[in-house]
Each structure stands twice: as structure tokens, then as C-alpha cells.
Amino acid sequence: MKKKGMKNKKPLHPLMVYVLFIVITVLLSGVLNLLDIQSTFYKVNLTSLELIPVTEVVKSLFSFSGIKYIFTSTVANFANFTVLSNLIILLMGISIMDKSGFLQTAITLTTKKLKKKTVTYFFVLICILASVFGNLSYLIFIPLGALLFYYGKRNPAIGIISSFAALSCGSAINVFFTSSDSELLNYTLDAIHTLKSGYEIKTTAFLIIMLVAVLLISYIITIVTENIIAKKLPKYEFSESELEEDIVTKDEKKGMIYACTSAFIYLIIFIYSIIPNLPLSGALLDNSEIRYIDKLFSVNSFFSNGFVFVVTILFIILGLFYGIGVKTIKNHHDFCNNLGHSLDGIGNMLVSIFFASTFISIFKQTNIGNVVVGLIASFIGNNNFVGLPLVIMIFIGVAIATLILPSSVSKWAILAPSIIPVAYNSEISAEFTQVIFRFAESATMNLTPILAYFIVYIAFLEKYNQGANKISIKESIKYQLPYSIIIGFSLLILLLIWYIIGIPMGIGTFPTVS
């Protein structure tokens, strides 16, 4: 029997959880620094192609200089937190698509005759493939996922939870060669060149195994969403008007023609500007890079730096011309008012993002993540496992490391020089080792609050929450746990089967060196 007062105990607010994370991180950094906790791993000397030891130590913030850092950098870190600025800009585009009625009509036309599982599957698949655009996909598809299920007369939380699972677990899996893959490949090549100079890896090296993984993960996320998550969530209450059957009128079809035609013209101009070696084309590319994906997403690429604005303009065009067609936008006042529709009531979201950004910057400053990943790299590098046990150990090690250091590039920069040589000496190819790394990331990327976009996931769950209690971090992780367990187990089995059979991973690449 529960004690009096325990029955209605409310969960801890996410904001307070992040405050606790900050306090614990500061105290932990002081203790670990006092105990001289450190890790030594290897990095590649690009001149001599030799492995050189590097030592990382925990930086204490439980000190005068640490407290000074927190007080002097918090405002700047929040102002420079790209999640916030990009979210606000994109929400303006989503606002006008939603308020004008474009989204409701588009969703009705495309999903009305489809089964629920079919809609979920294709939405999840699109989210996974969208990782080619980097982390921006979180800010696009989490709010769109909520609206997709809302206009489908289902709980919007289903769309939020499934989209975050697909975006985070699928961020390391794609049939397209992404900008992250390109950066990781550079570290892979640096590491393998310490053993075999001239070793080359093509961008098509992972094509087959990634295609299988994309289809597998899309199916798993769909099944978990429909059979577990959708049944656990409380019933979402719609008004009588919201439950009325959506019928697309002639005016709405005309609006869709206006919207799609204008968006098509915009996309043709945009696509032409990212095609190299054509007359007056390639204006948005960084032509100093070699790989095309790097020309698109390098630091100096106009495409990369302006992509948020490019997508927002596309959304505005769709909403504006649809609104003109159906007369939901009659003048500039309607247009301006519609831009801020999705920004109404986001005060709590901004406060949560502030504390999340503070925690992430403080955690990064302590260097705890690098030290822990360094210890994992050292453990794997000094172990004598070979073959299947080595594959399993690398997978588990990377999955754990991802919880502490979600950044793929930062993590692989530490792990690759230790893991690649050990795997290669065990006759595991460098390409397959990178695939192990990517698959292992997928298993736990959705569980860590250190991921900058985790707070966006929580914020939208709270936005559509109809319950009396706030959505807690524990509850949000609980929703993601079934995805993580099943995806992790499935991808590990896929790796082991691929390794045992030895079939090609891509064009001319195999799991083993031979």
C-alpha cells in the first residue's frame, strides 16, 4: 500500500533535471580531477604516419576558475547554441505552412487512403534518409511528425517519439554518403595508413550493408511504434470539429497546385546552384573540397551555411502560395501573423533549451567525455580479442561511448587510431570497422540527454502533452528504450551474420581483409 502523498507525486521537471546535471557535472569534475583520472590513447601523426600517445585529463569546474568560466560563458553559449536559432527560423516556415492550411491538405491528400502502419513506415524511412542533411533534420521532422499524426487524428506524441527514434538511431545509417561519413572516413584512412600506406576506401564501400540496415531499422521502428509506443500513450482528446472527416475541396486542390508549382520553380533554381561544372552553376558549393559531399557541407560552403534559410524559404513559399490559392492569406497582415503561429507559447521551450545548452557546454568543458572514450579506446586497443568477440567488444564499447560523447566525429577521432589497427591485425577490414562504429552509435544515440537535440524532443512532447504532469526526462527516455534495445540487438546480429558469411558490404569491399 502506497504511503499518503506518494500516490500523486509529480516527476521532476526536465528543467530541474538539467540543473541537477549541471551541479553533478561540476562536482564530479572536481572529484575526478582530484583523483587524477585520465586516459591515454593514440592519435595519428599525419607527417610520419605513426601513432603517438595523447593524454586527456578531467578539467575541474569545482574551482574559482571553473565557476568563473560558468558565469562568463553561459550567456554566450546560449546565444551561440545553433539549436535555438535554427529552430526559431524553421518554425516560422512551418508556421505559415500550418496556419495557411497547406499541411493539413497535403497530409490528407497523401495519407487518407493509406494504412496507419504504412504512413508510419514511410515517415520513418524519410526521417532516416534525411540524416544526409545533418542535425538540421531534427528541427524539421520532429515538429512535422507531430503535425502529421495530429492531422491523421492520432496522438501527436507518436510522431514526435518515432521521428526522434528514426533521426537519432538513423543518424549513423544512410544509403547516401553523408558529410559525417566523409569526416569519419578521413580518420579511418589516417588510422589504416599507419599499417598500410596507400589503402583506399571509396564512397560506395558501405552501400549494400547500409541499404539493408536502412530498410531493417525502418521496419523495426515502425513495428515498435505501432505495437508498443502507440498502445502505451494515453488517448489524445480531439474536439468534435477536429474529428470531422477532412474533405479536400476544389479551392484547396487549386491552392496545392499554386504551392507545388512555385516550390518546383524554387527547387529547380536551388538544385541548379549545387550542380558543379555547368554554366553559371555551383554557386553554393565550396569548390576547394574534393568530395562532392564536402563541397556541399564544408565549413566554407554557402549551401551548408545557408541551408536553414533555404529550407525556411521553401516552407514559406509552400504556405504562402497555398494560402493565396485558397484565400486564407489575403494580405500582408495575414502573412506576417501566420509566420509566428508556431512560436506562440514557446517560452517554456526556450527556458529548457537555455539550461540544456548550459549543461552541454559545461559537460564539454570538463573533458569527461573525451577521458571516458579514451579509456574505452585504450581498453579495446590493449585487448587480445579477435574475430567475432572483437566485433562484439567494439560494438558494446562504442555504444557506451555514445552515451557520454554523442558527437560521431569527436568520438571516432579518439577511437579510430586504437580500434582500426587492432581490427586490421585481426583481418577485419577498415571499412567494416567503421560500419561497426556507425551501427553501435545507432543503438544508443537516442538515449543520451547530452545530445543537443534531446531537449527539442522533450520540448515538443511537452507542447502536445494533455496530462496533468509535465513530461519528465525519465519518461522520455523510457519511450526510446524499446527502440534502442531492439535496434541494437538487430544491428549486432546483422554485423555478425555479415562477418561470418563474408558477402560484400559495398562495391568491392568485404568485412575481412582477405
pLDDT in tens, 137-164: 999 999 999 999 999 999 999 999 999 9
256 pLDDT higher than 80: yes
pLDDT in tens, 305-364: 788 888 999 999 999 999 999 998 888 888 888 887 767 767 888 888 999 999 999 999
User: What cell numbers appear for 496 in the block?
Assistant: 555478425
pLDDT for 466 equals: 84
Return the bridge partners of 50, or none: 45
* Separation of alpha carbons 505 and 514, rounded Å: 14
275 pLDDT higher than 90: no
Strand locations in 89-162, DSSP E?
A: none
- Helix, strand or coil, per DSSP, at residue 155: coil
pLDDT in tens, 190-245: 999 999 988 999 889 999 999 999 999 999 999 999 999 999 998 888 887 777 77
**Average pLDDT value for residue range 117-141:** 93
From 185, 198, 132, select the one nearest 434 (Cα to Cα): 185
User: What cell numbers appear for 204 in the block?
Assistant: 560506395
pLDDT in tens, 407-449: 999 999 999 999 999 999 999 999 999 999 999 999 999 999 9
Band the pLDDT of 295: cuts 50, 70, 90: confident
Q: Is the pTM of this model over 0.85?
A: yes
Return the bridge partners of 506, or none: 509
* Separation of alpha carbons 437 and 245, rounded Å: 47
- State the sign of the Cα–Cα–Cα–Cα dihedral 488, 211, 186, 303: negative
* Separation of alpha carbons 31 and 132, rounded Å: 40
| Three-state SS annotation for 245-303 | CCCCCHHHHHHHHHHHHHHHHHHHHHHHCCCCCCCCCCCCCCCCCCCHHHHHHCCCCHH
Q: Which residues contact 510 (CB under 8 A, 6 or more apart)?
A: 429, 432, 502, 503, 504
* Separation of alpha carbons 422 and 428, rounded Å: 9
From 252, 271, 308, select the one nearest 100 (Cα to Cα): 252
4 pLDDT higher than 50: no
81 pLDDT higher than 90: no
User: What cell numbers appear for 375 in the block?
Assistant: 579509456
User: What cell numbers appear for 76 in the block?
Assistant: 554566450
pLDDT in tens, 58-78: 999 998 999 999 999 999 888
Over the chain, what is the mean pLDDT?
90
* Separation of alpha carbons 299 and 12, rounded Å: 39
pLDDT for 5 equals: 46
Q: Grid coordinates 507518436 are at which residue?
A: 158
* Separation of alpha carbons 268 and 500, rounded Å: 46
pLDDT in tens, 13-47: 888 899 999 999 999 999 999 999 999 999 998 88
Q: Measure Cα distances from 419 to 38, 384, 403, 500 in Å.
A: 19, 12, 19, 20
8 pLDDT higher than 70: no
2 pLDDT higher than 70: no
- Helix, strand or coil, per DSSP, at residue 6: coil
pLDDT for 1 equals: 44
**Average pLDDT value for residue range 168-176:** 91
From 448, 460, 390, 462, select the one nearest 419 (Cα to Cα): 390
